[in-house]
Each structure stands twice: as structure tokens, then as C-alpha cells.
Amino acid sequence: MNTQPGSSLELDEIQGLVLNGYRHHTAARYVMFEIVDAARARAWLGSVVNHLQFGDYRKTPREQPPFIRDVCCNLAFTHPGFAALGLPTIALNGFSQPFQEGLADPNRARRLGDDGASDPTKWAWGGPGRPVHGLLAVFGMHCTPEGYAALKAVIDATLVEANGVRETAVLDTVPTDPVLRKEHFGFRDGITNPQIASLAQPGKGDIIADGEVLLGYENGYGHLPMAPHVPAETDRAGVLAPAVARPGFNDFGRNGSYLVFRQLQQDVRAFWEYVYKAKDAIPGLPAGREGAEWLASRLVGRWPNGTPITRYPERPGPDAEDKLNDFLYYETGDGFGARCPIGAHIRRTNPRDTTLPVPHDVELSGSPDDAEKRKAVLALTALHRIVRRGRMYGDPADPVYDLERLRQCDDKDRGLHFLCFNANLNRQFEFVQSNWAVNPTFAGLSRDPDPLLGARRTVPFPAADFTMPGGPGCPTRRVHDLPRVVEVRGGAYFFMPSRGALRYLAACGA
């Protein structure tokens, strides 16, 4: 393991958002834009590249230069966006197939569960006929009216037709409460994020290979991910690294990463109304708030304060941040889901040491008592991780997330701008979404979709159950008729290129 964090990554080349969620930049705005004049857009790119935030500040301790900027800007493009800028066909074809086809592709939408109200044809942005070319993400230190006005000024000054680009959608965010750090349903969020190996702090457990996030580095299989190449003669300024083992070509993808952007609208009232109602069907559960909190915590896998159910099955644990992500299921005595149900949101999106494919079938999946087996499972689940960078939008339904008030809250538009980075869209984001989250047969379940993301998807079949496996003295319990509490309102697959790739684009066709 590398003892000098970041030393093997080309930090000057990697856009900052890939490496860092900019937690101290509490204000953020995302702007989708279209390229209307390629020549002007390329000139604009050339002029803004060096004003974007790259990862160089991570080379030194925080108090030494280079510092992170007060306003961090990052740029990403969709496949049509790269085409509009004039990237050669050979490179356009070198991107991964999901990126080329786009998030709104109908076959992809079916597989990812984007149907009904979430169907791409109904999206506010990114759907068919409303293509997005690029994303400008802007982050500032101050979530005050003046702070947001400053972000707006940055955007308004640069995304102008004179620069060959035109805004198509502006997405605002709200800061997460710095103490509670909860998402709209009222649960502490942003706890679990794997660390890129070269940047990981020593001793932290949740680490994935650099090439699981960044092109140009070895992935979990020890291979370099497929990356787009360009003929070396088109790189006249020599801003790209030579392609590995391919003379005459340069690597356009190196130090870049695929960015998934989904606007997920949350129906907070429907979630809590359901929980309050469904809890009454479970024998022995306390009435009122206490029972509702108990059931909702099973659905999520954490108590509202973020403490994992698997460690604290009866009541919320102490709110100690460093312990929130530091657990495995079997090692907590919960190999079969008697504490944290197998179908709970956080368990199915990151099963950790759960013995897949079917934990309760030990003949098939092996016994969780077998340490080798658990090690193998952890190695397999590490191939399906994503690095999340999302932010909330819309005002919280209640400032302190009181359950009774969430249950009766208004209908205002609120949710999560879900952003995640990965190097292999098929094997990482899409796998987690389609095989783990919305799949009602995940891990030997029969009709249990992700209670937050997946209820009542028409494909593979409408499913709306949630099963809580039994333990000693307590039979397996189920609740039925889960509502859909999250709908997709927009989305696109982006690629966040390296500094060199942006400079190459700026000179494209010149």
C-alpha cells in the first residue's frame, strides 16, 4: 500500500470533484448546457480550463499551498457533448457502451427501473428530445443569499452564447444541516463512501482500486479500464499521455471518470404515512413514533441518527461518527439478516460481507462461519462500488426532521441530486441499481425491491414487499404494499475529463 497519499495519482490532471465532495463548500449549483457553436465553445474551454478545480491541492497539507479555491468549478460532458465539440470518432467509439447510449436509452431505463413517473420521456431534463451536452458544477463556501449570488455571477459570466454554450437546466441544492447531516426522509446520509486506494488514509477499511474510479489505473481485476484513444498526430500541443502499449495514439480517458447524475425526487410524506400505517400490522411493535422509527430503520438499515441497525437493533446507538461505517454484518452476528434485514436499503446497495448469492442457503453460498468465504465475498462486492457525490435539493420538510411532522409535510419538490463516479458503468452503478437495488429477488428474496428506490417497478414484475428475517423467538415478519417514494426527474451519464483532455478538446479541429 502506498504510504504517501496521492503520490501515484496525477493529481494535477484529475478534476477535484472526482476526489472530493467539497464538504466545506456548502453552496452548490449544477448547470446543464448545450453547445450551440463548437468553435466558440472550444475557445471558451481553452480559456476556462485553468480556472477549474483540480486535485493538486491534495498534494500538500491543508495549510500549505496550493489551496482549494473559494469557488470550485468542474466540467463534464455527455457523449453528444463530446461529439458536438468535435472529438474524433475513434475516441467517441472508445467510451464505454452505456455512456455512448446514454442514461435515457429505453432498454437501459427498463433495466434500471426508470418506469412510470420515472420514465425518461417524462424527465424535466436529459430525456429524449432534451439532450444535455455538458454539466458545469459550481461550489462555494457560503450558503447565504450572497454566496448563491456569487455562484450565479460565475455561471452567468461564463455560460453565455458568446462562448458557444447555452444553459438548458439549472439545478439548485440546499446545504445539509451541518450537525444532523440528514437527507429528506430524515436519515443521516453520506456515511459510506469507498476510498480510492492511492488516497486512502492508512488503517481505513473501505478501499477500492484506483481504476474502479479513474481511467488510466488498474481496476479491481488488475486491468486498465477501456479508455478512449486519439491519434497522436491530432494532439498537436502534446497535452495527453501516450496510450499504453499502442504507439501512435494518446489516451484521452486517462485521469477522467464516468459521472452518473440522477435527479431523485423524494416523497417524504408518502414514506412516513406508509411507515406509520404498516407498523400496526406487525405484532408487538410499540404504537406511535417509536414503532414507526423502528420499522423505518429496518427499511433503511440505519436509525435516523445514522447508527447501523446491525449494531444497534433495539434502539439508536451513540452518534459517534467514526463508527458509523466501521462494521460488517456477519462479524456483528448478523449474517442472515435477523437484525438488519437483507433487503434494507443500505445492506442491498453495499452488502459488505453478506454471503451472496443467498445468505440463508448455506449449501449454495457457503457458511458465513467460513472466514475464507467471507473474504471472497468482500472481494466480489468490492467490484460493485461507487463513489457518491450527491447533494440535496428543496427545503427540508421539517428543520429537525420530526417524524410526526414529516408524516404530515407539504408537497414541495425536494430530493437528491444523486451523483456518483465510477470507471465501469455496467459493472458498478448499473449493477448496483439493477441487480441489488431494484431487483426484487436480490440475495434470495422473492418479492422485495429496495424499499426506497425500487418499489412497484413493472420490470421484472411489480413487487412491494419487505421481509424482516426472524431470529430466536421471533418469526419472520413482512410488510406489504410499499409505495414508490422516489421518482427520477432527470438524468444523464457524463464523463469528467482530465485537464489534458479538456485542453485537447479546446484545440480540437483547430
Closest distance to other proteins from the beta carbon of 425 (Å): 10
User: How do 195-196 and 207-208 pair as beta strands?
Assistant: parallel
- Taking CB under 8 A as the binding criterion, the range among 15-23, 36-44, 91-99, 126-134 that sits at the site for other proteins is 91-99
What is the grid cell recorded at 209? 482500486
- Taking CB under 8 A as the binding criterion, the range among 193-201, 288-296, 360-368, 392-400 that sits at the site for other proteins is 360-368
Q: Which of 124, 177, 441, 483 binds other proteins (CB under 8 A)?
A: 441
- Which H/E stretch holds residue 296? helix 288-300
CA-to-CA distance for 238 and 251, rounded, in angstroms? 11
Q: Which of 59, 111, 152, 373 binds other proteins (CB under 8 A)?
A: 111
First vs last C-alpha separation in the chain? 43
CA-to-CA distance for 429 and 295, rounded, in angstroms? 28
Does residue 102 touch other proteins according to CB under 8 A?
A: no
Does residue 110 touch other proteins according to CB under 8 A?
A: yes
Does residue 90 touch other proteins according to CB under 8 A?
A: yes
Q: Which is nearer to other proteins, 401 or 429 (CB)?
A: 429
User: Is the link from the previous residue into 460 a cis peptide, with omega within 30 of 0?
Assistant: yes
Q: How many residues sit in the footprint of other proteins (CB under 8 A)? A: 55
Closest distance to other proteins from the beta carbon of 150 (Å): 43
Q: What count of residues does the chain have?
A: 510
Q: Which of 342, 386, 387, 416 binds other proteins (CB under 8 A)?
A: 342
Q: Which of 176, 325, 354, 439 binds other proteins (CB under 8 A)?
A: 439
State which amino acid sits at residue 2.
N
User: How do 27-35 and 165-172 pair as beta strands?
Assistant: antiparallel
Residues near 72 by beta carbon (within 8 Å), at least 6 away in sequence: 16, 17, 22, 25, 53, 138, 139, 140
Does residue 283 touch other proteins according to CB under 8 A?
A: yes
Q: Which of 248, 476, 509, 510 binds other proteins (CB under 8 A)?
A: 476
Does residue 372 touch other proteins according to CB under 8 A?
A: no
Does residue 247 touch other proteins according to CB under 8 A?
A: no
Closest distance to other proteins from the beta carbon of 183 (Å): 27
Does residue 226 touch other proteins according to CB under 8 A?
A: yes
Q: What are phi and psi of 390, to 5 degrees?
A: -75, 165
Does residue 221 touch other proteins according to CB under 8 A?
A: yes
Name the residue among 75, 22, 16, 30 with its Cα closest to residue 173.
30
Does residue 373 touch other proteins according to CB under 8 A?
A: no
User: How do 27-35 and 134-140 pair as beta strands?
Assistant: antiparallel
Does residue 121 touch other proteins according to CB under 8 A?
A: no
Q: Which is nearer to other proteins, 203 or 473 (CB)?
A: 473
Q: Which is nearer to other proteins, 162 or 380 (CB)?
A: 380
Asked whether the beta carbons of 357 and 365 are under 8 A apart, the reply is: yes
Asked whether the beta carbons of 82 and 495 are under 8 A apart, the reply is: yes
Name the residue among 438, 462, 440, 432 with its Cα closest to residue 452.
438
Asked whether the beta carbons of 101 and 240 are under 8 A apart, the reply is: no
Asked whether the beta carbons of 158 and 46 are under 8 A apart, the reply is: no
Does residue 260 touch other proteins according to CB under 8 A?
A: no
User: Is the link from the previous residue into 66 a cis peptide, with omega within 30 of 0?
Assistant: yes
Does residue 474 touch other proteins according to CB under 8 A?
A: yes
Q: Which of 380, 399, 408, 410 binds other proteins (CB under 8 A)?
A: 380
Q: Which of 5, 21, 94, 164 binds other proteins (CB under 8 A)?
A: 94
Cα 452 to chain center, whole Å? 15
Q: Which residue has the cell 481504476?
A: 211
Does residue 191 touch other proteins according to CB under 8 A?
A: no
On the CB side of 228, CA atoms within 13 Å amount to: 28
Q: Which of 142, 360, 373, 405 binds other proteins (CB under 8 A)?
A: 360
Does residue 369 touch other proteins according to CB under 8 A?
A: no
Q: Which of 434, 452, 482, 496 binds other proteins (CB under 8 A)?
A: 434
- Taking CB under 8 A as the binding criterion, the range among 54-62, 280-288, 309-317, 488-496 that sits at the site for other proteins is 280-288
Does residue 477 touch other proteins according to CB under 8 A?
A: yes
Q: Which is nearer to other proteins, 160 or 459 (CB)?
A: 459
Query: What 3-state class would DSSP assign to 163?
Result: helix
Q: Which is nearer to other proteins, 44 or 466 (CB)?
A: 466
State which amino acid sits at residue 364.
L
Q: Which is nearer to other proteins, 8 or 426 (CB)?
A: 426
Query: What 3-state class would DSSP assign to 222?
Result: coil
On the CB side of 396, CA atoms within 13 Å amount to: 21
Site of interaction with other proteins (CB under 8 A) = 90, 93-94, 97, 105, 107-108, 110-111, 221, 223, 225-226, 229, 281-284, 336-337, 342, 357-358, 360-364, 380, 383, 426-427, 430-431, 434-435, 439, 441, 444-447, 459-461, 467, 469-470, 472-478
